[in-house]
Amino acid sequence: MKTTQAGQKKKAGRWRDSPLPWLLPLGIILTFVFLYPVFEIVRFSFTNASLMDTDYEYTIGSFLRLVQLPGFYQMLTVTGIFVFASVFFQLFFGFLIALIIDRGQQLKMRGTVAVRTAVLTAWAIPGVIIGIIWRIMYNETESGIFNHFVSLFGMDTMPFLSDPQMALFAVTLANIWRGTAFSMILLYAGIQTLPKDVMEAAKIDGASAFQRLTKVMLPMLAPIILINLIIISIDTFNTFDMVMALTGGGPGQSTEVIALSIYTSIFREFNLGHGAATAVVLLIINVGMTLVYLKILGKREER
């Protein structure tokens, strides 16, 4: 009897010391809210399912039709331009603002906290609200903010949202404004961790400000810049809410990025199979970016 009780206590102790009681709830939640939806998306991508009909068949026709549609390559081109321009300028302006704030703090200038807070505000605003704000600013009558300034120079009003090329430029500009704050946060935090003695030694050795930036600061910030690059790339690939509120993907398909194309296929055209196939393409891109991110993190931890 005593042997049985001791065995039960030993088993209970092993269970308490095991990480399973902590990991099991997390595993169950992740299975139902992440893994199961992903599995369903992949499964529906190999069907001809529609929201208007409960019957469907398993086929690879959704992927074949997707790559044969002329709009598919336009969507990839629009997404590529949108992501490349957004990521480049978010990184550039984020780094520039981080340098200015850091320099302002070194000089003990007033207002650096206010500037930092103002920049962070853009990051805190929901994407739908940002889309509505920029839509008001892009109003194509003289009551629009941008067109009001254009009219001051005697020029005609600009078709910011009705011209296909200008609409893509307008959406990209709004996304740059939105994402610059996140880059600024990461890069500002990275600048604060740089060893001050190394920067001072470079200055004493006669290195100019440009040489200290390119030869000392940027190499030390390279891991953070790479991580920032991948995070904002994934975030930009998944942008949906702001574009939906600003242009709805139009005019035509000139601003239809991948995430918005998924919404259009499923909820406007009721083509679940086609939308799921497009979602799988986006999933592959995101998984690829995540693997690069994990590889970079692994290299940092090995150092």
Q: Is the pTM of this model over 0.85?
A: no
Are the beta carbons of 236 and 83 closer than 8 angstroms?
yes
Where in the chain are the domains? 19-63, 71-302
Q: Does domain 71-302 have CATH number 1.10.3720.10?
A: yes
The predicted pLDDT at position 78 comes to 92
> How much of the chain, in percent, has pLDDT values that exceed 70?
93
Query: What is Dmax (Cα atoms) for the chain?
Result: 98
pLDDT grade, residue 170 (50/70/90)? very high
β-bridge mates for residue 53, sequence order:
50
The answer, yes or no, to whether residue 294 has pLDDT greater than 80, is no
pLDDT at 46 over 60: yes
